[in-house]
Amino acid sequence: MEYTRLGRSGLSVSRLVLGTMNFGSRTSEEDSHAIMDRAHEHGVNFFDTADSYGLRQGEGLTEQIIGRWFARGGGRRDRTVLATKAYLPTGEWPNEGGLSALHIRRAVDASLKRLRTDRIDLYQMHHIDRRTPWEEIWEAFGVLRQQGKVLYFGSSNFAGWHIAQAQEAARSRHFLGLVGEQSIYNLMTRWVELEVLPAARHYGLGVIPYSPLHGGVLSGVLRKQREGRAVRSGSGIWAAALAERREAVEAYEELCAGLGEDPAHVGLAWLLARDGVTGPVIGPRTIEQLDGALRSLEIELDDDTLAGLDAIFPPPAPNGAKPAPEAYAW
């Protein structure tokens, strides 16, 4: 396993992040525990979850599953860099969502209880809260750090200017601020390159891409369809994404076939090669999917291949001339 620092922090994390969104909904607790054990066997130490993951609102089922895995002992908790999130509603009453000081306090204590741990290593805002001032958020976060309940803080789904707001507010309080931003980022969704990636690099945040294969569309979906295998990207919003960009996906799978590599592994390898990316979140439903993802760490994409991928999935550039972050300039 390869390791890197999370942003400008001193925290060492694996370059593949174990996403747990499927735990309890699409993957049984027994299989979830087996996947986490196998992740440790491979050296994956960075686990990502959220208080909203699971089958029902407010239940925190995924965190409970992880907590029961920690409770089995054997150094599981100490070997894990644990990240969770808060923002989404956990109930129907006021203050059961968002980033008010009240909800942050309640959400952290509830997550700690479900996770059966005394600390959260990386606590992430699941979304920007436009109604709560940064002074209130950082004051609440400062208390959590003093109490030892949270060690580092991060964001998710932030715009570049949100990152700037957060960091400048933290700077005014002489706080470390955010060390990570979790954004949707893959070959088909590259909008973060315009402002989020530059802002993250400037302020010292490690970028943690989620949905690295665009819901499976970049996992070799057309080949799987020809082979008669059921795929997640065959329905819903992912089916629409495939229909809209089918020619590009066909060209991508042809490029991967020419490399002799699985499209899923190439998609992850491309992210691993991006400047400022800490590591993509992989969400395996099975041990086999987890084992296969490790191949991405061994793939080195040369300049011609990277140029070919850019030709298939062009980077965003509003005026078509300059690369980010100067894409808006003339």
Low-confidence ranges of the chain (pLDDT < 50): none
Coil, helix or strand for 35?
A: helix
Could you list the active site residues? 53
Residue 186 lies in a domain: yes
What would the pLDDT profile of 161-219 be if each residue is shown by its tens digit?
A: 999 999 999 999 999 999 999 999 999 999 999 999 999 999 999 999 999 999 999 99
What's the domain count of the chain?
1
Please, are residues 65 and 21 in contact by the beta-carbon 8 Å criterion?
Answer: no
Please report whether residue 305 resides in a domain: yes
Q: Is residue 75 part of a domain?
A: yes
Nearest one of 2, 325, 6 to 160, comparing CA atoms: 325
Residue 269 CB coordination number (10 Å): 20
pLDDT at 56: 79
pLDDT of residue 318: 66
CA distance 309 to 306: 5
The pLDDT assigned to 60 comes to 92
Residue 183 domain-assigned?
Answer: yes
pLDDT at 317: 77
Residue 101 lies in domain? 3-217+263-312
Query: Nearest 10 degrees: CA dihedral of 311, 315, 320, 325?
Result: -150
The Cα angle at residue 295 between residues 225 and 122, in degrees rounded to 5: 100
Q: How far apart are CA 57 and CA 52, in angstroms?
A: 7
**Residue 102 in domain:** yes
**pTM for this entry:** 0.93
Angle at 211 between CA 206 and CA 216, to 5 degrees: 150
- The answer as to whether 318 is a domain residue is no
**CATH classification of the domain holding 269:** 3.20.20.100
In a domain, 20, yes or no: yes
Residue 153 forms part of a structural domain: yes
